[in-house]
Structure 1
Amino acid sequence: MILVDVRAVTQPVGIMRIIATVLTCLCFSLVATAGHDLSPYWAWCMFTWCFCFFFTLLILILEFSTVNTKLPFAWDDFTAAFAMLASLMCLSASIIYPIFFTCMTCHLQIGASVVSWVCSGIYVGEVVLTRLRPSGENIGFLSTIPGMMKMLETFLACLIFMSLETGQFHHSGLQWCVAVYSLCFIFALLIILLSLGQLLSFFPFPFDKLVIIYNILSAVMYATAMVIWPLYSFRNNGRPATCGSFCSWDKLVVVTMMTIFNFAVYTLDSVYSVWIVFLARNG
């Protein structure tokens, strides 16, 4: 029997989700009114606002109707992970959209940019509230620091994929880098899905130690990509004089920066996981 839980829309987290739903709807409505653009960055911003709007509204409906209690996965872990992902996505859209698509006389674009920044703050507030659980209450993997790092790793990989172009990785070294980005992304996503589905207990071996091995391998693989990608991308390839405010060459820089950031995240994830599993538990 489906009941109605009014607290889902009257508690602080519920109110924040209502505000986020309205703001994300306003963002993509303003941008759609301003006009379409073929840039993958424009598509990313629109996808971000539509994605956040849809899932925030879905979470509100499921909690209001108490259907969420009947779902076969860790609901609290899912909502915490979504709030983290939504805050990262909105933050990226809030930076990307005004840089590439806003001018001094673009009133709709300026409005969308401002609203997106406010929406980012709302989702960050939701992350903070979902982290403020009573002492002793069990929290899922994605609500922990390693889980949040996994969300950040997949998010940075998405930014890398968005910046890649087919003609950029003709060399075997660059193809290795793309393989690194893809493999690490797939396995990080698999860990997230297994955590949400509460399937970790079915593994015949300690899953946390498997994650440590994955983190270390990913950090090493990203270290090779951090060297190889700029080496083969920029060798005898200076910025073209015809390159405007943003061109394909600049995307190579974006991929390089995101590779460095993700290497740092995987390294921190590895160190923290080793400390938690082998030192903190045995201390």
Structure 2
Amino acid sequence: MDTDRVRLCVYRLLQLFSTCAAFSLVASLGTGMGAVSHWSMFIWCFCFVITLITFMVQLGKYQPSLPFSGKSFLFTYACLATVFCLSASIMYAITYIQFLPHGPFRDQATAATAFSCIACVLYALEAAFLWLLFLGETTFYFATIHGLFKLLETLVACIIFAFISNTYLHQHQPALVWCVAVYSICFTLGAVAMLLKLVKFENRLHTFFPRFLLGQTVLSVLLYASALILWPLYQFNQEFGGQPQRSSDVSCSDELASTLCIWDQKLTVAILTAINLLIYVADMAYWIHFIFIRSWASAITGL
């Protein structure tokens, strides 16, 4: 086993320990943690399972039999795991730890967040190591402008999912259920786009594939625009059953504060929706520019 493989194995073992420790510490706190805490646990469990599978595949040397580039997959997963663990660390800290009284429970939750941050750093180090290791041999998707946009869109979507996993935020209005569907549809379309890039599907459709990505991004912009209108309208406009004032939400009472209150969660989702819409608009502008420049270059070449 060469030095590079040993280094990757060390990264994986430390990642497995960190994610397992974060999950175990939070799970041992018991019930009443809230939707965001459960979502953070899901992220740590997901990263642990995929890292374990990747570690076993690496030890067994099965990568040549995979239907895609092992290098691209490893780098892509390392980037995504970095984003996932970062989002879990941020969400768990701001929505749960700060509301716990000082004592063993708070120390345990803080330790879980620390392990999540360590896992995030380890995944980032692995991504940087893989990028340097294979520099010049292959082009990694997340090292491109469009890949960075997709990474940011995925990060914001993961944080949104953490909040909307609390069904109390949206189950009472069909318009809000539509917003949840928007977040899910756009996330799924982005995942499909990343998967197609990972398996190098664009090599089969040189001309069509950029237009497909542009269409997917335009659709996401339109869907997010509708969510940006409907979510605040039905959450904060009293005529549509919303609560315009934070004080009108009984869950925001200081005596009941054990996690981020419902009104604050609604506001957070609204802000994150606006942020992701801006990212999708920038992504759309990139693809419009890319297709226009390619068409212009082809026209000049054909003259």
TM-score by length of 1: 0.85
Deviation at 1:276, TM superposition (A): 3.9
Deviation at 1:63, TM superposition (A): 1.4
Instruction: State the Cα deviation string for residues 63-120 of structure 1 (Å, max 9, x = none).
Output: 1221122111222222222112211111122122233045432222221122222222
Which sits farther off after the overlay, 126-135 or 225-234? 126-135
Deviation at 1:128, TM superposition (A): 2.4
Q: Percent identity?
A: 32
1:95 match: 90
Q: How far apart, CA to CA, are the structure 2 residues paired with 1:196 and 1:242?
A: 47
Deviation at 1:277, TM superposition (A): 4.2
Q: Unpaired segments of 5 or more residues in structure 1?
A: none
1:23 match: 18
| Partner amino acid, structure 2, of 1:60 | F
Q: How far apart, CA to CA, are the structure 1 residues paired with 2:34 and 2:206?
A: 46
Instruction: State the Cα deviation string for residues 42-81 of structure 1 (Å, max 9, x = none).
Output: 1111111111112122212211221122111222222222
Q: How far apart, CA to CA, are the structure 1 residues paired with 2:55 and 2:200?
A: 22
Q: Unpaired segments of 5 or more residues in structure 2?
A: none
1:250 match: 264
1:268 match: 282
Change (3 A) 1:35 1:179: closer
Deviation at 1:142, TM superposition (A): 4.5
**Residue 22 of structure 2 contacts residue 116 of structure 2 at CA under 8 Å; is this kept in 1?**
yes
Higher Cα radius of gyration: 2
1:117-266 matches, cutoff 5 A? 117-132=117-132, 136-164=136-164, 165=167, 168=170, 170-171=172-173, 173-203=175-205, 205-236=207-238, 237=243, 238-239=245-246, 240-244=248-252, 245=257, 246-266=260-280
**Residue 19 of structure 2 contacts residue 119 of structure 2 at CA under 8 Å; is this kept in 1?**
yes
**Residue 87 of structure 2 contacts residue 158 of structure 2 at CA under 8 Å; is this kept in 1?**
no
2:43 match: 48
Q: How far apart, CA to CA, are the structure 1 residues paired with 2:177 and 2:43?
A: 28
Which sits farther off after the overlay, 158-167 or 39-48? 158-167
Q: How far apart, CA to CA, are the structure 2 residues paired with 1:114 and 1:135?
A: 31
**Residue 169 of structure 2 contacts residue 266 of structure 2 at CA under 8 Å; is this kept in 1?**
no
1:75 match: 70
**Equivalenced residues, count:** 278
| Partner amino acid, structure 1, of 2:58 | E
Q: How far apart, CA to CA, are the structure 1 residues paired with 2:18 and 2:9?
A: 14
Q: How far apart, CA to CA, are the structure 2 residues paired with 1:160 and 1:97?
A: 13
Deviation at 1:203, TM superposition (A): 4.0
| Partner amino acid, structure 2, of 1:267 | V
Q: Is 1:32 the equivalent of 2:52? A: no
**Residue 212 of structure 1 contacts residue 274 of structure 1 at CA under 8 Å; is this kept in 2?**
yes
Change (3 A) 1:183 1:109: closer
Change (3 A) 1:204 1:10: closer
Q: CA RMSD for the aligned pairs?
A: 2.8
Deviation at 1:263, TM superposition (A): 0.8
Deviation at 1:259, TM superposition (A): 0.6
